[in-house]
Amino acid sequence: MIKKMKTIRKLLSDFVFGKKIVPFLIGLLPCIYPILHYATKNFSAVNTENYIYFFLIVFLIVPIVACYLFNHFFKNDSFKRFFLLLINLTFFFFTLSHITLNLSVYYTIFAIIGAVFISYYFRYQINKILILQLFLVLAASYKFLPHLNSQLQYSKAWMQPKDDILNVQFKVKPNIYVIQPDGYVNFNMIDKAPYQFNNDDFKNYLIQHNFKIYEDFRSNYYSTLSSNSSLFAMKHHYYSTVSGSNFNMSNARQEIVGENPVLQILKNNEYSTHLVLEHSYLLVNRPNLGYDTCNISYDDMGYFAKGFEIDKNVSQDLDKVLNLEDKPKFTFIQQISPGHISTTKSSSKGTKGERANYIKDLKEANLWLKHVINKIEQKDTNAIIVIAADHGGFVGMSYTQEVFNKLDDPLKVKSAFSALCAIKWPKDLHHINDNNLKTSVNLFRILFSNLSNKSKYLNHLQEDASFTYLKDQAKEATYKCITKDGEVEYSPITQN
């Protein structure tokens, strides 16, 4: 054993202080730390096969090949060491400044210029620099591995229904349009504190256009990803899709725009499916799409985009779907409007300022919704049109992350979850107790029960409770914050 330890020490000493160049390590190590650091901070935006291939090719294979080529063609030892270290440091500083730290291009240029000088003066210390980079990789791996382990454990088993609704057969097949205005609070709360806004004009518009309004509707979860993941699964996830882990919504985008029970049922009933988005927020990690068409192409998206760089004209893109002759069709339309108050305390304008901004955006959202509804009605007179917000507007709070704390004011809690829901049912469609429609998790199950004329699917409705994730408690955990009866009451949940 002692002999082996001495051998290992000698090998390390020879590597650190020796003159041998290892092109593979010079190309392998520079990008691993910055990419692991970025992936740890943005795991839900990079946890797909598309990103694995991208990282492997651009940040591992390319620098390794470049190092081998320079090592082969440069015979002069001094030049060889200079250019090999320059390749290493250029990749390291570029990924660190431009990707990991998201600094401006000027900082990146200065860093690369600095790499030239460092490469010249330290070209005979390459292996020592590699050792430093290796320690950085080990440090980053310590924080990254829990995310990787959680991803490897991930299973879609939680999305499987307890009955045979996946095999439901529709009796009628009207076109279905689900319009999701982000953060639009319901009519029951909009005219009261803390919103105090008269929204009768839009409410009367919906009534005149034969929409049924579900006054007390709310979301089960407080964010776009967590709410929509539950919506398209028709199941609760409690902010965790891996048994025993907390706040694990890293796969939500795959669950929303990839294969899910709702899309499976629609396709089984010969529906074509279409996704029309204003921004690429639901697509940032490039999941494999379960929709037949989408108005945003991955070719137009950067690999390190945050999801709001692309602004699509939803109305124009909807025209393309409306003009398709294939029937029946399902279309999910999302516009980030009116949105919600500021996310962080540092960006907040205070409760009054945030309310004023929200009301301004709400008025614009009303105009957009009227325009889209009119467009659909002109083209598709017998369609089902669903307006279902993903969550509330959080007005009354200073910033949305207050929801992570146990709130004493029930109005603040309800402000986060109260959401607009209105449905225009075809006149000849028989209703099966859609009065049970209280929260978003049960929306599609009730819709499919109506289309199939089968009340048995209502036997497995999920609990109409709303959940949050508290970080100000002794132990961070998921809490039920609104009961099925609409009462604000915090209680920790235990997953089976």
Give yes or no for residue 234 having a pLDDT over 90.
Answer: yes
Selected residue with higher pLDDT from 50 and 493? 50
Confidence band for 243, pLDDT divided at 50, 70 and 90: very low
In this predicted structure, which of 64-73, 230-239, 290-299, 381-390 has the lowest mean pLDDT? 64-73
- Average pLDDT of the chain is 91
What number of CA atoms fall less than 13 Å from residue 128's CA on the CB side? 8
pTM above threshold 0.85: yes
Give yes or no for residue 417 having a pLDDT over 70.
Answer: yes
Q: What are the DSSP calls for 328-370, one per residue?
A: SEEEEEEE--S--S-SSSTT--HHHHHHHHHHHHHHHHHHHHH
Q: Exposed e or buried b for every residue in 296-324, given b needs 16+ CB within 10 A?
A: beeeebebebebeebebebeebbeebbee
Give yes or no for residue 477 having a pLDDT over 90.
Answer: no
In this predicted structure, which of 144-153, 372-381, 408-417 has the lowest mean pLDDT? 144-153
Given this model, what pLDDT does residue 70 score?
Answer: 87
DSSP-based three-state secondary structure for 43: helix
Confidence band for 240, pLDDT divided at 50, 70 and 90: confident
Given this model, what pLDDT does residue 343 score?
Answer: 93
Q: Read off the pLDDT of each residue in 465-489 and give the average, rounded to a whole number.
A: 89
Q: Give the rounded percent of residues in the chain with a pLDDT score beyond 70.
A: 93
Given this model, what pLDDT does residue 276 score?
Answer: 98
Sign of CA dihedral 380, 381, 383, 386: positive
Q: Are strands 384-388 and 421-424 parallel, antiparallel or unpaired?
A: antiparallel
- Count the neighbouring beta carbons within 10 Å of the beta carbon of residue 59: 21
Domains, in order of start, for the chain:
2-153 (no CATH), 161-492 (3.40.720.10)
Residue given tokens 């005219």 in the structure block: 191
In this predicted structure, which of 2-16, 18-32, 154-168, 383-397 has the lowest mean pLDDT? 2-16
Cα–Cα distances in angstroms (integers) from residue 75 to residues 19, 69, 78, 81, in the given order: 15, 11, 9, 10
Q: What is the DSSP letter of 189?
A: H
Cβ-proximal residues to 240 (8 Å cutoff; 6+ apart), any chain: 246, 247, 248, 478, 495
CA dihedral 284, 286, 289, 295 (to 10 degrees): 60
- Minimal CA–CA distance to 321: which of 313, 312, 329? 329
In this predicted structure, which of 12-26, 55-69, 75-89, 380-394 has the lowest mean pLDDT? 12-26
What number of CA atoms fall less than 13 Å from residue 290's CA on the CB side? 22
Letter for the amino acid at 345? K
Backbone conformation region of residue 454, classed left if phi is above 0, alpha if psi is from -120 to 50, else beta: beta
Confidence band for 218, pLDDT divided at 50, 70 and 90: very high
- Minimal CA–CA distance to 392: which of 195, 251, 210, 239? 195
